[in-house]
Amino acid sequence: MDFSFLERSKAQGFWIKEELEKNDEENSKRWLAEIENTLKLNELMKKIHPETIESQKALNDRTQNFRKQLLEDRGFADKKILIVSHSAFLESFTATKYWKDDTPLDGNYLKNAEFAEVTL
């Protein structure tokens, strides 16, 4: 598969980790500036449309409801299943405890393209 379009993409923030790992100072400065701009944009969007930004509490509630459905309602407690999702969802999904600010305390945070076998 040809991924050359990623080099031309203006939304290259998805590839920040890989770029920073190249340890190129000029590249790193550029990506860090992009991260800062993205964070500013996220904060602005939260102010403009707060209902469209999912809070950590809402994410935790959603993932734990999904977990309950799988284990109790659908009978997957003794089965092996594959779940493909974003790292924040999976971290919350695998958590059993949370900090006071609703951040998962013991969730399994997966890096880009990483996988793990987890017993629920």
Q: Which domain holds residue 107?
A: 54-120
- pTM of the full structure: 0.55
SS percent in the chain: helix, strand, coil, step 5: 55, 0, 40
**pLDDT tens-digit readout, 55-100:** 899 999 999 999 898 888 888 888 888 888 888 899 999 999 999 9
Q: Would 3 be classed as within a structural domain?
A: no
Same-domain status, 61 and 92: yes
Q: Are residues 67 and 94 in the same domain?
A: yes
In total, how many domains does the chain have?
Answer: 2
Q: Which residue has the tokens 């790292």?
A: 87
Q: Are residues 69 and 87 in the same domain?
A: yes
- Evaluate if residue 1 carries a pLDDT over 50: no
The answer to whether 68 and 78 are in contact (CB under 8 A) is: no
